[in-house]
Amino acid sequence: MRLSAERAEEDRHAADVVKRRVTECAEEWFGTGTGPASAVRVRQVDSRPRALLLAVYLGEDPGTPRVIAKVRREPSASSPGQVPRRPVLAAGVPSVSELSAMEYDGLRSLHEMFSDTDPRFGSVRPLDHLQQENVILMEYVQAATLRRRLLAQNRVSSRHPFRAQDSWEPWRRAGAWLRVFQQATPHGERPARQGTREDVLERFDAYGSYLSQRLGTRFADLGTRGSELAAGVLPDRLPMAVAHGDFAPRNVFVGRDDRLTVFDPMPWWVVPAHEDLGRMLVSVRLLGLQVHTHGRAFSRTTVDRVEREVIHGYAGDGPVQVEQLRCYELLVLFDKWSALLDAAERGRSPLRRSSLIRATAYVREQADAVLDLAGAGR
Ligand SMILES: Nc1ncnc2c1ncn2[C@@H]1O[C@H](COP(=O)(O)OP(=O)(O)OP(=O)(O)O)[C@@H](O)[C@H]1O
Ligand SMILES: [Mg+2]
CA distance 76 to 362: 35
- Average pLDDT (209-224) is 92
Q: Going by CA atoms, what residue is nearest to atom 20 of ligand 1?
A: 264
Please report, as a single letter, which amino acid is at residue 196: T
Pocket residue to mutate for ligand 1, from 48, 53, 127, most atoms within 8 A of Cβ: 53
CA distance 286 to 364: 11
Residue 64 has pLDDT above 60, yes or no: yes
The minimum-distance atom of ligand 1 relative to the CA of 124 is 1
User: What pLDDT score was predicted for residue 37?
Assistant: 53
- Average pLDDT (34-50) is 82
User: What pLDDT score was predicted for residue 171?
Assistant: 97
User: What pLDDT score was predicted for residue 358?
Assistant: 73
**263 CA to middle of ligand 2, Å?**
7
User: What pLDDT score was predicted for residue 4?
Assistant: 80
DSSP for residue 171: H
User: What pLDDT score was predicted for residue 319?
Assistant: 87
Longest dimension (CA), the chain: 66
**230 CA to middle of ligand 1, Å?**
34
- Average pLDDT (67-81) is 79
Residue positions counted in the chain: 378
Residue 79 has pLDDT above 60, yes or no: no
| Pocket residues: Cβ below 6 A from ligand 1 | 51, 53, 68, 70, 124, 138, 140-141, 145, 246, 250-251, 263-264
Domains assigned to the chain:
2-138 (3.30.200), 142-376 (3.90.1200.10)
Q: What is the dihedral of CA 237, 266, 164, 367, to 10 degrees?
A: 40
The minimum-distance atom of ligand 1 relative to the CA of 53 is 12
**250 CA to middle of ligand 2, Å?**
6
**251 CA to middle of ligand 1, Å?**
7
Residue 82 has pLDDT above 70, yes or no: no
**249 CA to middle of ligand 2, Å?**
9
The minimum-distance atom of ligand 1 relative to the CA of 147 is 29
DSSP for residue 347: T
- The pLDDT tens digits of the residues spanning 322-351 come to 999 999 999 999 999 999 998 888 877 666
User: What pLDDT score was predicted for residue 77?
Assistant: 59
- What confidence category does residue 156 fall into, taking pLDDT thresholds of 50, 70 and 90? confident
Q: Which residues surround ligand 2, an ion (CB under 5 A)?
A: 251, 264
DSSP string for residues in 14-80:
HHHHHHHHHHHHHHHHH-S-S--GGG-EEEEEEE-SSEEEEEEE-TT-TTS-SEEEEEE-PPPSSSP
- What confidence category does residue 84 fall into, taking pLDDT thresholds of 50, 70 and 90? confident
Strand 41-47, strand 51-57: pairing = antiparallel
Which ligand sits closest to the CA of 67?
A: 1
- The pLDDT tens digits of the residues spanning 164-180 come to 556 899 999 999 999 99
User: What pLDDT score was predicted for residue 164?
Assistant: 54
The candidate with the shortest Cα–Cα distance to 364, out of 224, 215, 200, 201, is 215
Strand segments (E) across 29-169: 41-47, 51-57, 67-72, 126-130, 135-139, 144-145
Q: Going by CA atoms, what residue is nearest to atom 19 of ligand 1?
A: 264
The candidate with the shortest Cα–Cα distance to 119, out of 299, 257, 228, is 257
The candidate with the shortest Cα–Cα distance to 71, out of 86, 87, 50, is 50
For the chain, give the percent of residues with pLDDT over 70: 90
User: What pLDDT score was predicted for residue 299?
Assistant: 93
User: What pLDDT score was predicted for residue 6?
Assistant: 83
User: What pLDDT score was predicted for residue 49?
Assistant: 86
- The pLDDT tens digits of the residues spanning 275-299 come to 999 999 999 999 999 999 999 999 9
**155 CA to middle of ligand 1, Å?**
26
Residue 371 has pLDDT above 90, yes or no: yes
- Average pLDDT (23-49) is 84
Share the mean pLDDT of the chain. 91
- Radius of gyration of the chain from Cα atoms? 21
Residue 162 has pLDDT above 60, yes or no: no
